[in-house]
Amino acid sequence: MLKRLFRALPGPLPVRLLVAVVIVAALLVALVVVFEALGRFLDDGGVMG
């Protein structure tokens, strides 16, 4: 599936590689943001109020 998605990207191979790296980086950042939000249910720092 990942190969199919990669081949679907536009442009020559170097461009596709760059776009793929950018997309993966964006997905990782989004994942961390979601993890941070969910993590506050486990431990929000113990602040009063």
* Interface with another protein (CB under 8 A): 31-32, 35, 38-49
Q: How far is the CB of 33 from another protein (least distance, A)?
A: 11
Buried-state track 1-24, b at ≥16 Cβ within 10 A, e below 16: eeeeeeeeeeeeeeeeeeeeeeee
Q: How far is the CB of 8 from another protein (least distance, A)?
A: 18
Determine the Cα–Cα distance for residues 28 and 49; give it in Å rounded to an integer: 32
Q: How far is the CB of 3 from another protein (least distance, A)?
A: 15
Q: Output 6 or 16, the one with its CB closest to another protein.
A: 6
